[in-house]
Amino acid sequence: MGNLLEIRNLKVNFNLDDQVITAVDGVDLDVREGEVLVLAGESGSGKTVTALSITRLLPRTAEIVSGSVMLRGKDLARLSEDSLAAIRGKEIAYIFQEPSSFLNPVYTIGNQLLEAITLHHGKDKEEALKEARELLALVKIREPERVLLDYPHQLSGGMNQRVFLAMALACRPKLLIADEPTTSLDVTVEAQILQLLMELKMRLGFSLLFITHNLSIARRIADRVSVMYKGEVVEEALTEDIFKAPKHSHTRELIRAYEKIGRL
């Protein structure tokens, strides 16, 4: 199984008024074709910054100082903004923790899905509407016709996450990056979303980079786990090996913490 994405020596700084803070410090990371890689670590370890750096979705204060981000031979860190814009959504898509923060409250779900579809596919309204229904059905939303007319505030958190996932999959990306997508959901809905993600990965064949602080999720879904600590990847191994024989002290601390609360 070859690599879809290869990150080498990635370093990202935040340039603040009176100081420079290194958020990601020499990260190497591979995402293989068709696999689930979990990037795990505590809050502030650099997981999200690493993920956003892949397609340069960083705040203005952030700067990629060094490194390469290779997607099937193309270095995304050095592409023009126009070239990179064509990759965002089409080849690499994201879902985030709070879908309601990314769904526009003044537009219906249908309007927002149609925009996502027509942006990259150029389909007419009738074709796009048909695909929007199919996408909602794909993420197991009942009554897609009704949901297309709803606004985000009329849906539950779990339903909004399914809609956001449908939008992310509209262009059939090769890589889906899921950044803490279940953190704000209750455990029952969390389990449903995780199961849905796994089913869709098998059906559509995308690779999944899943970011979480929750090692119980990592144990459930990951083929491999990379552990981040203070901006660095300190350990990477097959999921079974990480939990049976963790090598880094921070990995052992994370595992002990979850064992203590009965989550592993």
215-229 pLDDT, tens digit each: 999 999 999 999 999
The token duo for 31 is: 């995402």
Question: What is the per-residue pLDDT for 17?
Answer: 86
**Higher-pLDDT residue of 263, 76:** 76
Q: How far apart are CA 90 and CA 168, in angstroms?
A: 9
Q: How far apart are CA 162 and CA 230, in angstroms?
A: 32
Q: How many Cα atoms sit within 13 Å of 203 on the Cβ side?
A: 10
Question: What is the per-residue pLDDT for 35?
Answer: 97
Question: Is the whole-model pTM more than 0.85?
Answer: yes
Question: What is the per-residue pLDDT for 258?
Answer: 80
Question: What is the per-residue pLDDT for 176?
Answer: 98
User: What are the two backbone dihedrals, phi and then psi, of residue 24, each rounded to the nearest 5 degrees?
Assistant: -130, 125
Sign of the CA dihedral running 61, 67, 71, 73: positive
Beta bridge partners of 237: 225
DSSP-H helix ranges across 88-156: 109-121, 125-138, 144-149
pLDDT, mean of residues 136-152? 95
In the predicted structure, residue 263 carries a pLDDT above the cut 70: no
Residue 226, class by beta-carbon neighbours within 10 Å (0-12 exposed, 13-18 middle, 19+ buried)?
A: buried
pLDDT, averaged across the chain: 93
pLDDT, tens only, 73-91: 899 999 999 999 999 989 9
Lowest average pLDDT, out of 53-62, 119-128, 134-143, goes to 119-128
